[in-house]
Amino acid sequence: MTNIPFYKYQGAGNDFILIDNRNNVYTDLSVDMVKKLCDRRFGIGADGLMLLQNHAGYDFKMDYYNADGNLGSMCGNGGRCIVAFAKELGVIAEETTFLAVDGPHYAKISAKGEWVDLQMIDVDQVSTDGNAFILNTGSPHYVEHVSELESLDVYFKGKEIRNNPTYKLEGINVNFIENKGDHYFVRTFERGVEDETYACGTGVTAVAISMAKQENQTGHHVKPIKVLGGNLRVEFDYDGKLFTNVFLCGPAQLVFTGNIKI
């Protein structure tokens, strides 16, 4: 039986288990172990689990596991939370460059450590599937406009799209968006969690980029976005072809720490 010290973080309600693995103690976590740790009844409960690891040339490396126990693609809110975790551990001060599955990421964190601006990958391809936009912001996303989003059955509709013949094999995150005038309201069904989450960082990034693409809005943009778990902000530059200087900005807060035997 292994005793694992852990930290629980949340970013706009997207919650994660964080483990300091700089000493390479927990490199043999199995799918079943991660799945149990993330279980909300029999474990700690989380949308995902991350290991903070050493990596030459970077402040740290982020290894992200989905709640289903499998290694995942980039997680934006997870990236912001692991930056706050690195600050808590004394690994970084107020700026960092770390390595994730989709490459290097720059981030800056507030002095109190509760607000993180995370640079995401550049995006040069936005395609369509009917009326929906399809793009990759570190993870694959489907973005669809709807009305009356508050009452939409996101679990049913999101699961249906994620498991249709086009996306079933590799999966896709399904985002529903409603334009509220001064902000976008977004709800997301996430693959790997296989449920709606309170926020999705790569998802709101995909939404903001899709809307600029749809409206052909070039220049610098700041997009306020409301999710079930709070408020996020996406900033980027768009020259009509390429989205650069993409930042996902929002809260990242320590919820509690503990030890669990598994």
The domain that holds 49 is classified in CATH as 3.10.310.10
Position 1 scores a pLDDT of 73
* 24 exposure class (CB count in 10 Å sphere: 0-12, 13-18, 19+): exposed
Position 127 scores a pLDDT of 98
Statement to judge: residues 156 and 169 lie in one domain: yes
Show which residues are catalytic: 75, 200
Contact 158, 144 (CB under 8 A): no
pTM of the entire structure?
0.96
Statement to judge: residues 111 and 13 lie in one domain: yes
166 to 114, 160, 172, 191: CA distances (angstroms): 39, 11, 10, 14
Statement to judge: residues 130 and 242 lie in one domain: yes
Statement to judge: residues 183 and 211 lie in one domain: yes
Statement to judge: residues 97 and 212 lie in one domain: no
Average confidence (pLDDT) over 38-43: 96
Statement to judge: residues 130 and 244 lie in one domain: yes
Position 28 scores a pLDDT of 83
Smallest Cα–Cα separation from 48: which of 20, 5, 9, 21?
9
Statement to judge: residues 107 and 154 lie in one domain: no
Q: How many domains does the chain have?
A: 2
Distance CA 107, CA 78 (A): 12
pLDDT class for 20, splitting at 50, 70, 90?
Answer: very high
Statement to judge: residues 11 and 92 lie in one domain: yes
How many Cβ atoms are within 10 Å of 260's Cβ, its own excluded?
Answer: 14
Q: Residue 182: which domain range?
A: 126-249
Render pLDDT for 147-194 as a digit per residue (tens, 0 to 9): 999 999 999 999 999 999 999 999 999 999 999 999 999 999 999 999
Statement to judge: residues 70 and 145 lie in one domain: no
Smallest Cα–Cα separation from 21: which of 57, 60, 69, 56?
60
Per-residue DSSP letters for 148-187? SGGG--HHHHHHHHHTSTTTTTT--EEEEEEE-SSSEEEE
Position 262 scores a pLDDT of 84
**Which residues are CB-neighbours of 26 under 8 A, at least 6 positions away?**
2, 4, 19, 51
Render pLDDT for 95-130 as a digit per residue (tens, 0 to 9): 999 999 999 999 999 999 999 999 999 999 999 999
Smallest Cα–Cα separation from 75: which of 155, 212, 193?
193
